[in-house]
Amino acid sequence: AQSVTQLGSHVSVSEGALVLLRCNYSSSVPPYLFWYVQYPNQGLQLLLKYTTGATLVKGINGFEAEFKKSETSFHLTKPSAHMSDAAEYFCAVSDPGNQFYFGTGTSLTVIP
């Protein structure tokens, strides 16, 4: 069975500061891992994904995430936060049948 845990339902950072959103997963098979961003009243937009290969994955808008199997983690980072990064972020794991399991989300606030 798959599951996702996102530590911290709310994260606040100053503009220009490092963004770190945490995600841990459990999976009985090699996981596919994803980060999605959701703006108010909108659907989900894919930030980045890990399937196989390089464990450091770069996504859109300057975000990246590193798959650490030993820690069962897939934390999302961005070196310098921008005001436009304020949104809800979801970590997800999928199984081979493409069924997604989402974390509970982390709301990112960027303080000017």
Partner 1 sequence: GAVVSQHPSWVICKSGTSVKIECRSLDFQATTMFWYRQFPKQSLMLMATSNEGSKATYEQGVEKDKFLINHASLTLSTLTVTSAHPEDSSFYICSAVDRVRPDSPLHFGNGTRLTVT
Q: Which residues bind partner 1 (CB under 8 A)?
A: 34, 36, 41-46, 49, 51, 90, 94, 98-100, 102-105, 107
Rounded Cα–Cα distance for residues 104 and 39 (Å): 15
Residue 98 CB, nearest approach to partner 1 (Å): 5
Residue 84 CB, nearest approach to partner 1 (Å): 18
Residue 38 CB, nearest approach to partner 1 (Å): 9
Distances from the Cα of 52 to the Cα of 5, 34, 44, 55, 90, angstroms:
21, 12, 22, 8, 20
Rounded Cα–Cα distance for residues 26 and 75 (Å): 14
Instruction: Choose between 5 and 17: whose C-beta lies nearer to partner 1.
Output: 5
Instruction: Choose between 31 and 103: whose C-beta lies nearer to partner 1.
Output: 103
